[in-house]
Amino acid sequence: MSVVPASVKPKPAVAALDVPRGRSRWWDREAPLAYLFMVPGALLLILFMAYPFGLGIYLSLTDKMVGFADFDFIGLENYQYLLRDRVFHQTVVNTFVYGFVTVPFKLVLGLGLALVLNQRFRLSSAIRAGLLLPWIVPTAISSLAWLMLFDPVLSPISWVLREWGLITQNVNFLGDRVNAMASLCLANVWRGIPFFAISILAGLQAVPQELHEAAALDGASSWQRFRSVTLPTIRTIVVIATLFSIIWTFADFQLIYVLTKGGPANGTHVFGTYAYQTMGYSALGQAASVALSMFPFLAIFAALLLRQLRSED
């Protein structure tokens, strides 16, 4: 581990890099073994992903319609169409709002939950599993629960607020662009917190306790200990979890599909729902171009976050 302050550095361990590396048995050398380890996963991915992936990119350059055998290569026309498509512009904006609002919340709240759950307490296993439920309930069904919670008439949230005298009319959760986006973000954060919490909780198990104790004895505050001992250990995990959360959020489909289908008046379309809507009239080439338009954005985030990971090595 790299970024531990000098005062709490453990006694130097075995000089790590002097281990003999040039052993003769090939399976003890890193590179051949590494390639060997890749084989099963790679086979599966190549068999099932390489073709669809390549085809997906190719289709985005064609006017392919579902169910029609003939189609033409049209170059970047689909993408040019999107550049002039107001709904698509709105989709891009919506996706960024959706992603940038929810991911930080999920990260911070998930990290907080992980730290809370990492303590010893009674009934801890039941409580830990219970708090995982938002992630376990099939989204197809939990989205329907949110549909009820956001219902203009039946919403129990509105009922409570009315009982408390905070509002006189039911909240219009999904019928207004801003409210609808906020409601979707709320449901998305709800669903996403456990993922961060559990992945970080698992990472916390590798935090060396003796460092923590040594730092505490040195009079480090809990915030200092968190920054200098805990955070370096879980940083990789946090970065990776954030990365995947961004991807999932950008490509989110089911929650929005159930709650608004991108409405009202396209106010909540994201890439996933817009691409799916395009499939509704069979325009596969166009749908592919919508879906793949995410690619550069996600690639940029990925590059930024991956650089974070590298700098650690």
Pick out residues in 75-134 that bind other proteins (CB under 8 A). 86-87, 109, 112-113, 116-121, 124-134
Closest distance to other proteins from the beta carbon of 307 (Å): 11
Q: Which stretch binds other proteins (CB under 8 A): 72-80, 96-104, 144-152?
A: 144-152
Q: Examine residue 175 and tell whether it contacts other proteins (CB under 8 A).
A: yes
Q: Could you say which of 3, 7, 9, 68 contacts other proteins (CB under 8 A)?
A: 68
- CA neighbor of 312 nearest in space, from 242, 258, 257, 234: 234
Closest distance to other proteins from the beta carbon of 1 (Å): 6
Backbone angles phi, psi at 62, to 5 degrees: -130, 170
List, in sequence order, every beta strand (DSSP E) within the chain.
Answer: none
Residues in contact with other proteins, counted by CB under 8 A, come to a total of: 148
Report how many helices (DSSP H) and strands (DSSP E) the chain contains, helices first.
Answer: 14, 0
Q: Examine residue 148 and tell whether it contacts other proteins (CB under 8 A).
A: yes
Q: Examine residue 176 and tell whether it contacts other proteins (CB under 8 A).
A: yes
Closest distance to other proteins from the beta carbon of 33 (Å): 6
Q: Whose Cβ is closer to other proteins: residue 61's or residue 275's?
A: 275
Q: Whose Cβ is closer to other proteins: residue 35's or residue 73's?
A: 35
Q: Could you say which of 3, 49, 93, 167 contacts other proteins (CB under 8 A)?
A: 49
Q: In the range 201-220, which residues lie near other proteins by CB under 8 A?
A: 201-203, 205-210, 212-213, 216
| Cα–Cα distance, 268 to 257 (Å, whole number) | 10
Kind and range of the H or E run holding 164:
none
| Cα–Cα distance, 277 to 91 (Å, whole number) | 12
Q: Examine residue 5 and tell whether it contacts other proteins (CB under 8 A).
A: no
| Cα–Cα distance, 65 to 168 (Å, whole number) | 50
Backbone angles phi, psi at 16, to 5 degrees: -60, -45
Binding mask 150-169 for other proteins (x = CB under 8 A): xxxxx-x--x----------
Q: In the range 241-270, which residues lie near other proteins by CB under 8 A?
A: 241, 243-244, 247, 251, 253-254, 260-266
3-state secondary structure of 73: strand
Binding mask 294-313 for other proteins (x = CB under 8 A): xx--xx--x---x-----x-
Q: Could you say which of 65, 74, 97, 161 contacts other proteins (CB under 8 A)?
A: 65
| DSSP result, 219-241 | T--HHHHIIIIIHHHHHHHHHHH
Question: What is the per-residue burial (b if ≥16 Cβ within 10 Å, else e) of 259-279?
Answer: bbebbeebbbbbbbbbbbbbe
Return the percent helix, strand and coil in the chain, to nearest 5: 70, 0, 30
For the chain, what's the residue count? 313
Q: Examine residue 178 and tell whether it contacts other proteins (CB under 8 A).
A: no
